[in-house]
């Protein structure tokens, strides 16, 4: 029996070599229906069946993954199906969830104790601080560090949903646009050869512009609600001086940053192939270090510190379960996009080029961005990076404006939906855990479209009008 299983495994190896790279040109748009299904489930179940969703969201994600994998296996075979799973898990999901797990766990061990009154000035200042920190410690780290103190500062406010919504805009997305450490798409660009300081110098004007507009808009909106509420006699938590506990976790966050940078600059050329997917030793070492750092934080952070944060695994479990399904079911959509003009999304791909085949920067900004709002922004960045040229030297040189458009679109427009960037979902989950009634999937998009789309139109006119 063991001999037969061994021979069967050997017979599958040649198929594995090609499994992860099935031809997107052969796929119809019908293969993307499970992806549409999981998006609609995320949007509608919390609205119409909240109790069912709260209890069974992981099963719903698994159902849609099965709706894709079962027919895919029947049509393309077991090796191709295993290759898709291996690619989604090894190259995308595991690194994605481990860095989120590490930052969520470590930042949960930092307790900002005390309370300040959530005035418009204080709230704007905290959002500005988070926007800066997002490029230093990543959008997930900054978001998880500051969301609890921000909610606590506003626990006496009747209107505080807008505070969390703008927090998602600025801290969980736009603030991460200055460095490869800030947001996954920029880190992928760094791995492809985009210089660290190229990202900072070219993205700085756009991040500063967007942050200034949003912080100004937030201040006036928050001031309106603050005045509308009047003077509140009862504050659930009285003002107290701020003290920080669990400070050693800041060193662990620095170690997370170092591990991520290490995986981008250390390339010894050692790798393994698993079901058609390459696993490089630097990536394996990074993931093991991230896991170890999270475990160190759990082991040595005093329990009262985590208790003070009301730390629990709910938000990260929700992200882990939902995105496991999302990474699998979005595989055909990404493959069709990668097929370029040969795929069934050719009309969309053609919008980013002019009649002579040159890049149209403002369309790269919008196409990368809009797709990043619903597909994972990291592979979407790679699709358009390779579509534009694929060579980092060329992209940083003659095509610098195109690379800027792709970078800005993938980072900024991740704020358009809850699934555009993983910290969005985590912030939502933490806020709901603290009793804030967050908008539904479409309710959040009403906020984001009303506030962000005009901003992105303005940015198009300011930064990409040369390509009209």
- C-beta of residue 285 within 8 angstroms of C-beta of residue 263: yes
pLDDT of residue 237: 55
Residue range 123-144, pLDDT digits in tens? 999 999 999 999 988 898 899 8
Reading the block at residue 431, the tokens are 């806020």
Percent helix, strand and coil across the chain, each to the nearest 5? 75, 5, 20
Residue 25 has pLDDT above 70, yes or no: yes
Backbone angles phi, psi at 466, to 5 degrees: -65, -20
pTM of the model: 0.80
Average pLDDT over the chain reads 86
Residue 201's contacts (CB-CB under 8 Å, 6 or more residues apart) are: none
Q: Rounded to an integer, what distance in angstroms lies between the CA atom of residue 378 and that of residue 335?
A: 14
- Mean pLDDT over residues 15-34, rounded? 71
- Beta-bridge partners for 200: none
Residue 234 has pLDDT above 90, yes or no: no
- Mean pLDDT over residues 353-372, rounded? 89
Residue 232 confidence class, pLDDT cut points 50, 70, 90 = low
- Boundaries of every domain in the chain: 29-227+242-467
Distance of alpha carbon 93 from the chain centroid: 12
Residue 72 confidence class, pLDDT cut points 50, 70, 90 = very high
Q: Rounded to an integer, what distance in angstroms lies between the CA atom of residue 355 and that of residue 81?
A: 38
Distance of alpha carbon 34 from the chain centroid: 20
pLDDT of residue 5: 41
In degrees, rounded to 5, the angle at the alpha carbon of residue 51 between the alpha carbons of residues 32 and 431 is 85
Residue range 312-345, pLDDT digits in tens? 888 888 889 988 998 899 888 888 887 888 888 8
How much of the chain exceeds pLDDT 70, in percent?
Answer: 92
- C-beta of residue 412 within 8 angstroms of C-beta of residue 387: no
Residue 445 has pLDDT above 50, yes or no: yes
**Residue 381 vs residue 220, higher pLDDT:** 220
Residue 15 has pLDDT above 60, yes or no: no
Q: What is the DSSP string of 181-248?
A: TT-HHHHHHHHTT--HHHHHHHHHHHHHHHHHHHHHHHHHHHHHHHHHH---S--SS--EEEEEE-TH
Q: Which residues of 98-120 are buried (b: 16+ CB within 10 A; e: fewer)?
A: bbbbbbbbbbbbbbbbbbbbbeb
pLDDT of residue 68: 95
pLDDT of residue 96: 80
Residue 239 confidence class, pLDDT cut points 50, 70, 90 = low
CA-closest candidate to residue 387, choices 344, 350, 420, 412: 350
How much of the chain exceeds pLDDT 90, in percent?
Answer: 42
- C-beta of residue 142 within 8 angstroms of C-beta of residue 168: no
Reading the block at residue 282, the tokens are 């630097």
């Amino acid at each position: 029996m063991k001999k037969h299983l061994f021979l069967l495994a050997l017979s599958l190896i040649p198929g594995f070599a090609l499994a992860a790279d099935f031809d997107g040109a052969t796929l119809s748009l019908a293969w993307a229906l499970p992806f549409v299904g999981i998006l609609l489930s995320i949007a509608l179940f919390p609205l119409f069946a909240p109790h069912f969703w709260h209890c069974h969201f992981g099963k719903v994600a698994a159902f849609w993954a099965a709706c894709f994998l079962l027919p895919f296996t029947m049509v393309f075979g077991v090796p191709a199906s295993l290759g898709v799973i291996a690619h989604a898990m090894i190259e995308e999901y595991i690194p994605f969830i481990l860095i989120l797990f590490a930052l969520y766990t470590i930042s949960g061990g930092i307790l900002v104790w005390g309370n300040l009154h959530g005035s418009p000035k204080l709230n704007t200042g905290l959002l500005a601080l988070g926007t800066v920190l997002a490029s230093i410690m990543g959008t997930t780290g900054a978001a998880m560090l500051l969301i609890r103190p921000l909610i606590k500062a506003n626990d006496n406010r009747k209107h505080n949903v807008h505070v969390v919504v703008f927090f998602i805009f600025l801290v969980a997305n736009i603030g991460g646009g200055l460095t490869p450490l800030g947001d996954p798409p920029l880190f992928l660009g760094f791995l492809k050869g985009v210089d660290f300081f190229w990202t900072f110098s070219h993205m700085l004007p756009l991040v500063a512009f967007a942050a200034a507009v949003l912080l100004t808009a937030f201040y006036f909106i928050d001031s309106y609600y603050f005045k509308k509420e009047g003077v509140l006699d009862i504050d659930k938590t009285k003002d107290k001086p701020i003290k920080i506990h669990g400070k050693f976790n800041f060193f662990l966050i620095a170690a997370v940053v170092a591990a991520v940078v290490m995986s981008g600059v250390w390339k010894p050329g050692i790798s393994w192939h698993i079901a058609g997917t390459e696993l490089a030793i630097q990536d394996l070492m990074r993931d093991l270090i991230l896991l170890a750092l999270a475990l160190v934080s759990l082991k040595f952070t005093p329990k009262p510190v985590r208790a003070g944060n009301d730390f629990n695994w709910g938000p990260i479990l929700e992200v882990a379960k939902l995105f496991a399904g999302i990474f699998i079911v979005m595989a055909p959509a990404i493959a069709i996009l990668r097929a370029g003009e040969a795929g069934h999304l050719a009309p969309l791909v053609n919008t980013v080029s002019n009649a002579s085949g040159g890049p149209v920067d403002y369309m790269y900004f919008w196409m990368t961005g809009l797709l990043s709002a619903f597909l994972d922004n990291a592979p979407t960045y790679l699709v358009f990076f390779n579509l534009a040229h694929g060579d980092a030297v060329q992209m940083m040189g003659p095509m610098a404006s195109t690379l800027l458009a792709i970078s800005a679109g993938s980072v900024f427009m991740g704020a358009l939906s809850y699934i555009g960037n993983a910290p969005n979902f985590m912030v939502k989950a933490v806020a709901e855990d603290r009793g804030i009634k967050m908008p539904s999937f479409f309710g959040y998009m009403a906020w984001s479209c009303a506030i962000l789309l005009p901003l992105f139109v303005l940015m198009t006119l300011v930064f990409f009008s040369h390509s009209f």
